[in-house]
Structure 1
């Protein structure tokens, strides 16, 4: 049997064909790479984009921004039942002779604040501890103690000069000390808020509606003394209330007696509104709006019921704390227009966070009306939530 020897040639027709095919494939690969180095090529893994991993899509490489922490006061307000939220927006006058009336309104409706007016001092000499203990959330206890004609504890703790007399005879440092001493006396009696200082500018006679309740007709002087008074209150733990935005110092009359009109808005910018600039200088305060029609701003309505007035306070003056109404139950500038429950609704809907009525009573009726107003949409729930958030924050409840 004969065995064939291997050929010495490897270049026969089959080998040449294979070589040609290989040459053609290599040429195509080189051309593709020269044209687009990043183009996919059969048999080669696709490169991941720069800065990413080939094991995950690019979007998974980016960490989402953390969500902002929720406002604890907004969370706490939202957790309250609607009626309880609404009740936090009310400051109701109580009988000053003793604790019985205040206990009743706090236990029944858990209002956010009580106001102690009148001449009797019984509730200020005992009983407030029991009233506070009846509240499930911190309770604001407010009085009206400016000095001069508007004082609350003068029979108990001595008389204060009027704002005008303070500015005429004392330095701002002395006024700060006077306010601090007064606030210590108020705090010892259970009071946590003083509806003072007045920041209206007025040169009117002493016994007019503002008159000597104003530190000065000069806005700079008024601001300096009001700041000193507010600082003194703060030092003893009492919350100041600046009043009466947008300005009652040069109105046509007394809003206790009927409708009043101030000078036009542009004139107020040179007088009563000046002390509200740089409002943070006063520290944490409440601002009270007056029942004042301001031409060019409120359209014939009292500022307390005017969304434009609250908008001015929040926008131009940048105030973020609680806004409060003047008395909705005993001042004819409002009571001649609308009954109390509807006045409270209109004030809250316009932008108030605290609705005050010194006459007391009718709390359940007011809350019934407010609940119905939320249901009908005439009092937006967002407005209620905003007000409750500010009130809870201002009294350290969250």
Structure 2
């Protein structure tokens, strides 16, 4: 049976009972003031979700400490440990005398450049001496050749010829090209080469003797991408780093950048041709990308892509490339040399977004480094741009 409260004359509790209720209410208010509201109830009295846990940790003594910071980037640590001139030198790939090791050995000992390029028709350096050159480097040395096949190859006298890209696509399956590149990459690696400036991703069906011509696998972007991917995979399997070229596209240009300025079709047209093989660039694995000395209407403002911040931004942004970007030859191709002298061309390329500056003619390395050091000091080559480039260079070498 439910107990009834005694009712007063006016419908409320009798006086004694009323006093007890008032005391109880006052007691509840006092408890709330001393201890705070019920943590399980919101302002409406309904339960509310518990607040998220703090981002710090409680120590044994009861004091709260911040969570541990994420571990530092190992490449950033390695770069920070380099002397400023050595850091800049890692961004250079300099041509050396291909006939023997003396020139390369002197360059590496003197300036600790990040890479050397072996061109020309004399393969003497590739038959001995590279081990000594590489041993002289404080950090792993990139040793590059351009061994595409056809009219651009370096070891045919030593290891046999490669067909041109156009012939590969016409006569071989992608799997056969992959096997061919794997064998060639192994031959290069055995001679001390670490990087091959191939394959060509440019599309086009121009005559064989033109700037690209038969260096292109196909005018069809899908076919060009399929064969370039097979070539890159074969190089990877042999332990040789491929270099995709010539971004943003040299296959349909107005001329030859070796002998003067060239212009490509407008950017929107390139997206349907030469740029298409760069989409989904991660499928090519760990690679570098070479930019060509190509003026692109709608992108570079009349400048060669190698000196254009907009071209590097396109590669990083729209195409999502995170590896090292390198220049085509800054010292022997008139599309650049007619505009600017070598030390300033290197500075402009690095400031624009290049991570590796290449010149095949060799020499002038000390002069270039002096200019770059002065440019960092003046702010015309930002120090954080140098650090970013050096991190990418060390990463592709497997240093960090």
The TM-score normalised by the length of structure 1 is 0.88
Report the Cα distance in structure 2 between the residues aligned to 1:184 and 1:295, rounded to whole angstroms.
40
Correspondence for 2:126 among 87, 100, 124: 124
Asked if the contact 2:325–2:354 (Cα under 8 Å) also holds between the matched residues in 1, the reply is yes
- TM-superposition CA deviations, 1:225-274 (whole Å, max 9, x none): 00000000000000000000000000000000000000000000000000
**Alignment partners' CA distance in 1, 2:22 and 2:114:** 83
Residue number in structure 2 paired with 1:228: 230
Give the CA deviation at 1:69: 1.7
1:328–1:340 Cα contact (<8 Å) kept: yes
- Cα gap change, 1:35 to 1:324, in 2 (>3 Å): same
Q: Show structure 2 runs of 5+ residues with no match.
A: 1-18, 41-53, 59-63
Shift of 1:29: 5.5
| Displacement after TM superposition at 1:68 (Å) | 2.0
Q: Distance in 2 between matches of 1:168 and 1:124?
A: 31
Shift, 1:32, TM fit: 2.6
| Residue equivalent to 1:6 | none
Matching residue of 1:39: 33
* Distance in 2 separating the partners of 1:312 and 1:275: 14
Count residues in correspondence.
366
- Give 1:388's aligned residue: 390
| 1:355 match | 357
Larger Rg: 1
C-alpha separation between the residues in 1 aligned to 2:367 and 2:226? Answer: 42
Could you tell me how far 1:74 is from its partner in structure 2? 1.0
Please tell me whether the aligned partners of residues 325 and 355 of structure 2 are also in contact (alpha carbons under 8 angstroms): yes
Check 1:128–1:189 CA distance in 2 against 1; reply closer, same or farther (3 A cut): same
Residue 24 of structure 2: aligned partner: 30
1:368 to 361, 370, 385: 370
Shift of 1:34: 3.7
3-state SS of the aligned residue for 1:91?
A: strand
Determine the C-alpha separation between the residues in 1 that align with 2:55 and 2:180: 67
The answer to whether the 8 A contact 2:55-2:67 is kept is no
Distance 1:260 1:60, change over 3 A: closer
Q: Equivalents in 1 of 2:219, 2:23: separation in Å?
A: 91
Within 2, Cα distance between the matches of 1:117 and 1:213? 17
Alpha-carbon spacing, 1:131–1:26, altered in 2? closer, same or farther (3 Å): farther
Partner deviation per Cα, 1:169-215 (whole Å, 9 max, x = no partner): 00000000000000111011100000000000011111110000000
CA deviation after TM superposition for structure 1 residue 27, in Å: 7.8
Partner residue of 2:193 out of 191, 204, 222: 191
Q: Rate the CA distance shift 1:88–1:204 in 2: closer, same or farther, 3 A.
A: same
1:147 partnered with 2:149: yes
Q: Which residue of 1 aligns with 2:280?
A: 278
Instruction: Select which of 68, 79, 82 maps to 1:80.
Output: 82
Q: In angstroms, what is the RMSD of aligned CA positions? A: 2.1
Match of 1:336 among 332, 335, 338: 338
User: Residue 295 of structure 1 aligns with which residue?
Assistant: 297
Secondary structure at 1:38's aligned position in 2?
A: helix
Residue in structure 2 matched with residue 13 of structure 1 by the alignment:
none
Query: CA contact under 8 A between 2:165 and 2:214: conserved in structure 1?
Result: yes
Q: Tell me how far 1:66 sits from its aligned partner.
A: 3.6
CA shift for structure 1 position 81: 1.0
Structure 1's 71 and 206: CA in aligned 2 closer, same or farther, altered over 3 A? same
- Corresponding residue for 1:201? 203
The equivalent of 2:71 in structure 1 is: 69
Structure 1 contact 32–39 (Cα < 8 Å) conserved? no
